[in-house]
């Protein structure tokens, strides 16, 4: 039996929509847009290499962060295509690669650290403790995933 190595690519979705509004984007639309762009840039070989094992594992509308899974090797086709995405589902969006890791656990650790720094930056702009709690609840919510992960076990 052969073990297939995967790479988990953490991307940030940068949109022109204000940050306090959630992004209405389904993970299937993101997945299909990336596959179409890979087909366009790398041809049939790139699309066929990536298609097997390519999956959008996590997509959060509030934090605008997604995790893509690809096989080790063809993940380079995915990472080279990400900067050229300009529209997803009719929305003008730019993708920025934040992290490439070997496991989901390390990707979620990175997201946790990234979200903490985002919270520190945004808390100074909020006036009440209730607004701060609501923001923390929305940002640190990992339940909008296709995988269930216990955040307490990360660390």
Tokens representing 122? 């945004």
Residue 148 has pLDDT above 60, yes or no: no
Q: How confident is the model at residue 1 (pLDDT cuts 50, 70, 90)?
A: confident
Q: State the chain's mean pLDDT as an integer.
A: 84
HSE-CB for 111 with a 13 A CA cutoff: 28
Residues 6+ apart with CB under 8 A from 140: 112, 115, 119, 151
Residue 154 has pLDDT above 80, yes or no: no
**pTM, to two decimals:** 0.80
Whether the pLDDT of residue 6 is over 50: the answer is yes
Read off the pLDDT of residues 67-77 as tens digits, 9 standing for 90 and up.
Answer: 999 999 999 99
CB neighbour list of residue 58: distance below 8 Å, 6 or more residues apart: 27, 65, 66, 67, 142, 144, 145, 146, 147
Domain assignments of the chain as residue spans, ordered by start: 6-153
Region 60-88: mean pLDDT is 92
Per-residue confidence band for 19, with pLDDT thresholds at 50, 70 and 90: low
CATH-assigned architecture of domain 6-153: 2-Layer Sandwich (3.30)
């Amino acid at each position: 039996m052969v073990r297939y190595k995967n790479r988990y690519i953490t991307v940030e979705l940068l949109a022109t929509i204000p940050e306090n509004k959630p992004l209405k984007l389904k993970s299937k639309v993101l997945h299909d847009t990336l596959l179409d762009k890979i087909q366009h840039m790398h041809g049939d070989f790139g699309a066929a290499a990536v298609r097997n094992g390519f999956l959008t594992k996590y997509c959060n509308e509030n934090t605008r962060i997604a995790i893509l899974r690809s096989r080790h090797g063809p993940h380079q086709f995915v990472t080279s295509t990400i900067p050229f995405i300009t529209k997803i589902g009719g929305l003008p969006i730019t993708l920025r690669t934040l992290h490439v890791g070997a496991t989901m656990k390390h990707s979620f650790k990175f997201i946790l650290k990234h979200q903490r720094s985002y919270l520190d930056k945004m808390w100074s702009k909020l006036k009440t403790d209730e607004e701060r709690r609501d923001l923390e609840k929305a940002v640190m919510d990992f339940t909008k995933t296709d995988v269930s992960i216990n955040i307490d076990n990360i660390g």
